Structure 1
């Protein structure tokens, strides 16, 4: 009887060892899978953070450009109004100055033919 009893105990212990081995193996494998998922999620979060910072930087740059453009437009409008109100605004332009201005216009058109006012050749 004793050998059967020992065999039963050995069988129960073997069964417990197998179940325990399967349990811990599953936990280890599950942890490995979760670690990969966590690493992928962290990498995705880092990429998203970089994209968000890039978008914010772009918005800041666009804001600066818009402000500069608005300031330049206001400055040009003010200078135009002042030039129209100047005492010599309606005086004829000196011919030599007109020739110099035309020469500068030609140079600009040669440098950048897509500018408005440049004749297409």
Structure 2
């Protein structure tokens, strides 16, 4: 099982990528609850420079509600993190990688069989969002 779902965006900037990711997630019923600018945080807290790195906390409330009803501790794995980060192999800074946690991990980490169909649904929706992001 892959730990994440990903795609690469070329010739783009962070603002454009964030909008594309947010729109694709919204189309699949996810909202962005949190945004962490890791690059700015590392600069502020450690005075360290790093490449573009943003974490969006995405949540589909219907799926989250069902998962929490099966096992409240699943909240430790929510929201679904979606990362937008610079491809460090590209020195132009115009290639960004978008990665999302594979929700199938919820079932495998907990061993809770009742989470399997819920995780599969979340995974399918995130895969659709990633496919939309990857589309030209």
TM class, shorter-length = under 0.3
Higher gyration radius (CA): 1
The structure, 1 or 2, with the larger RCO (C-alpha pairs under 8 Å, 6+ apart) is: 2
Q: Which has the higher strand share?
A: 2
Report the TM-score when normalising by structure 2.
0.19
Report the TM-score when normalising by structure 1.
0.21
